[in-house]
Amino acid sequence: MDKLHLLMSFLSQSLRTISVLPMITVCLQAAELKRPKSELLTIENKAVKIGIDRSMGASITWLSWQAHPENIINIHDPGRLLQQSYYAGKNLDRQEEGQSKHWSPWSWNPIQGGGVNSWARVSVFKKTREGGLYAETIPKLWDMPDEEAAAVMRQICRFDPEMPNVIQVHNQLICKRKPDDRWGAAVPRHQELPACYFTRQFENFSIYLGEGKWESVTQATGPPWGKAYPKLNAMACFNEQGQGVGLFSPVANRHWNFGPVGTSSPSAKPTDNPCVHMAPIATVRMGPQTTLEYRYWLVVGSKAEIAASFDVLLKKYKKEKMKITDPD
């Protein structure tokens, strides 16, 4: 058994005991998936540029700013990107139907980017009148080569009118499963809110403590991911030049997954396999027809710039909750 299969065996066994998928592509199907022709739609102000790509499920595939004009989103495969990712129901072995043996048994796991061997379909893709980005995506089930999930994902990206280095993202998942389907009723599952993959040079992780203070956290090259516990639900990763991206996700109620994968490189590219990961975690019970909505904020720049924006966001949105609705 070679190293790839040893790693896959470890992941397959380990991940059956937890509910959050570390979307690091080590399976051959995704590694061999042909890269689609980019259909990038962007907005930018004087400080930041952000983009979503129709060919990749309208996931966020571009993020750059004045002091770091190169794209920092890892787009190696459908499991990377900066995207929506959810988990519901019981684990099923569907290998006879084509389920990847590396991800079996697996739960109902709709992914905005796509499945292990396919990219997701986008039904609405446009700029809003207010200057934001709006998309609706029919996600794929991660464990299957090319199976659409019975769901719709909506996403709105917009700039903060008062802080040019801040982007607000509003996500919504509408589940459209049959009430009596094979995955069954709602069970508590960890959710990635959201799942973020950045280029490999952003390997210096810090938890924001408030009032301009930071705490550095480290994690060996994975998988598995490390666990961080940011009490303010604000965390960032930086490169050696001190530029970074911060994430504020007030709806998280558990740990945050984080860490690097692969060999560090100061010249890492978005299409490279090595990357870094951050994902705020919340436990949510999602049934066959649950609708879930939440917001998070991306903040870019130096530590001082990110800290200043975090302080404003914390004052405004620290107590914000996700919205979960189910049919009567």
User: Domain spans of the chain?
Assistant: 3-325
∠ CA(24), CA(174), CA(324), 5° rounding?
95
pLDDT of residue 33: 80
d(CA 100, CA 142): 9
Mean pLDDT within 170-191: 97
pLDDT of residue 34: 82
The candidate with the shortest Cα–Cα distance to 274, out of 286, 260, 288, is: 260
Q: What is the DSSP string of 181-250?
A: -TT-S--EEEEEEEEEEEETT--EEEEEEETTEEEEE---SBSSPEEE--TTSEEEEE-TTS-EEEEE-T
Mean pLDDT within 278-289: 98
- What is the value of pTM for the model shown? 0.92
> What band does 20 get if pLDDT is binned at 50, 70 and 90?
low
pLDDT for residue 290 is more than 70: yes
d(CA 243, CA 213): 16
pLDDT for residue 5 is more than 60: no
Mean pLDDT within 274-291: 98
pLDDT of residue 14: 42
Percent of the chain with pLDDT strictly greater than 70: 90
CB 326 within 8 A of CB 288: no
CATH (residue range 3-325): 2.70.98
The residue to which tokens 């700039």 are assigned: 159
- Three-state DSSP at 161 gives coil
d(CA 18, CA 64): 33
Q: For 61-93, give one letter per residue: b (16+ CB within 10 A) or e.
A: bbbbbbebeebbbbbbbbbbbbbbbbbbbebbe
Q: Output the 3-class SS for 241-309.
A: CCCEEEEECCCCCCCEEEEEECCCCCCCCCCCCCEEEEEEEEEEECCCCCEEEEEEEEEEECHHHHHHH
CA Rg value for the chain: 18
pLDDT of residue 32: 63
d(CA 311, CA 173): 29
